[in-house]
Structures are given as structure tokens and as C-alpha cells.
A and B are shown apart, each in its own frame.
Chain A
Amino acid sequence: AQRVTQPEKLLSVFKGAPVELKCNYSYSGSPELFWYVQYSRQRLQLLLRHISRESIKGFTADLNKGETSFHLKKPFAQEEDSAMYYCALKKAGTALIFGKGTTLSVSS
């Protein structure tokens, strides 16, 4: 069965500290992996997708097929990064399957 696991419900860091939001997935095949972010009082929006291999707002994520992981990283957290982050998986022609989400709290 397809499944996305985000083990941390809440991650609290200080401004300037490195951030790693963990995501593991279970899927037999070649899935597409995504990170979505939801800032307070805003709609859910795409942060990045593994196929693009790009950095958005300083965040990167590398797909590790051996460990079935797609962790989201940022070297120096900013207060404006505080939000809910969802890891999601999909295969072509189907809808996204979401993890439970991790709340990132960055304080000064």
C-alpha cells in the first residue's frame, strides 16, 4: 500500500539553525514526491517536487530510493519558514497521498 510517513508532528528550531523535516514513503514503483507548505491563514501551496531538483526559498529535498526517503532541508532557518509542511506522493494519473504533516516553528 502507498503510504507517506512524517514522524515528527512538531519541529522547533532557532533562527539560523539547520532544519530537516523527515519524510519516508512506501510504494512499489517509481513515485513522484512533493513537499507542500501551508502558511498561517493561506492555502496549501507547492514548495518543491523531486523531479525538478530545484531549491525553493532555500529548501532542498533529495529522493533516496534506497532509504525510501525524501527529507526536506534548509541550512539556515528563518522565522518566515514557520508553517505546516506536508510530504506527498503520487503516481501518474492518480491523486496525491499526504503524510500527516510537520509543524515547523522557528523562533528568534
Chain B
Amino acid sequence: SAVISQKPSRDICQRGTSLTIQCQVDSQVTMMFWYRQQPGQSLTLIATANQGSEATYESGFVIDKFPISRPNLTFSTLTVSNMSPEDSSIYLCSVEQTSETQYFGPGTRLLVL
């Protein structure tokens, strides 16, 4: 399976600021996704990161709040913009290879004060 890393692993941010989370994979993957896991909750899909085109967002998530880039087949970024305490969550990068099985990064733990 692919080896997935995320940076930063955790951060504490002030409300109104933005944070960009990076996801790096050690091999080319067909699909990359971003999920959010709020405290005590399950994983919710934010968007599918499309290589070379705009991300596809799920209901309730918008590009202005969560801009995503995917410049190539091994890297993606998720920005959490104009943060509020409600954005405090774990943000996870996930990739899918040809086996159609998804693998997950270690997550970025974000606390907004």
C-alpha cells in the first residue's frame, strides 16, 4: 500500500486565520480525498482532489472555505480558511490505488482558539 504523510501533524491556530495542510504520497495514485473527523464523530468526506482540475466538493463544503490543490499524482493540499473554533477537527488525506481500496494518512489535528 501507498505510504502517506501529512504536514503539519497538529497545529493550534487563532480564529480568522488560515492553515494549509499538505499530503504527500510515495507513489502515483489515481484518486485523493480529504476527510474531516470532528471530535467524537465519524469521518466526513470534504472533497475529491482532482489532478489538473477543480476539486469536487460534497454537500456542505465549499471551495472558498476549503480550497484544495492537486498539482500532480502524488501531492495535494487542503486549506482551511478564515477558521473558527467549529473547524477544530482532525483532517485526513486518503488515497486510492488501482485496487479501489482507500488508505489513510496519519491526520492533522487542528485546534482553533
Show the binding face of A for B, using Cβ within 8 Å: 32, 34, 36, 43-46, 49, 86, 90, 92-101
Contacts and interface: CB of A to CB of B under 8 A. Distances in A.
A86 B43 contact: yes
Interface of B: 31, 33, 41-45, 48, 92, 94, 96, 100-107
A24 B100 CA distance: 21
A98 B42 contact: yes
B47 to A, nearest CB: 9
B92 A44 contact: yes
Contacts, number: 43
A95 B94 contact: yes
Contact of A46 (B48, B101, B107): B101
B45 A43 contact: no
A43 B102 CA distance: 13
Contacts of A94: 48
Contacts of A92: 100
Nearest to A52: B101
27 contacts: A32-B100, A36-B104, A43-B106, A43-B107, A44-B92, A45-B103, A46-B102, A46-B103, A49-B101, A86-B42, A90-B100, A90-B102, A95-B31, A95-B45, A95-B48, A95-B94, A95-B102, A96-B43, A96-B45, A96-B94, A97-B45, A98-B42, A98-B43, A99-B42, A100-B41, A100-B42, A101-B42
